[in-house]
């Protein structure tokens, strides 16, 4: 009975992981065709890059003390 329970749990986990893998593969095909970025992939990378640069800029600005905060 314990073996049947573990077999059923393994089968369920294998099915869920297979579903997730197929989903990620399908979504990745929208952005990458195996050799280069697709148009949609390029349009996604541009705002991601801008967001990273903007976040780094805000972080650096937060490290610099404001000269008007003491007045």
Give the DSSP letter of residue 33.
Answer: -
| Alpha-carbon gap, residue 8 to 26, rounded angstroms | 27
In the block, residue with structure tokens 């280069």: 36
User: From first to last of its 71 residues, what are the pLDDT tens digits of the chain?
Assistant: 889 899 999 999 999 999 999 888 888 888 888 888 889 989 989 999 999 999 999 999 989 887 665 55
Q: What is the per-residue pLDDT for 49?
A: 93
The whole-model pTM stands at 0.50
């Amino acid at each position: 009975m314990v073996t049947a329970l573990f077999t059923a749990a393994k089968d369920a986990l294998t099915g869920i992981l297979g579903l997730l893998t197929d989903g990620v593969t399908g979504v990745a095909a929208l952005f990458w065709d195996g050799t280069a970025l697709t148009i949609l992939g390029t349009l996604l990378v541009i705002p991601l890059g801008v967001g990273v640069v903007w976040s780094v800029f805000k972080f650096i600005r937060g490290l610099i003390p404001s000269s008007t905060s003491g007045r």
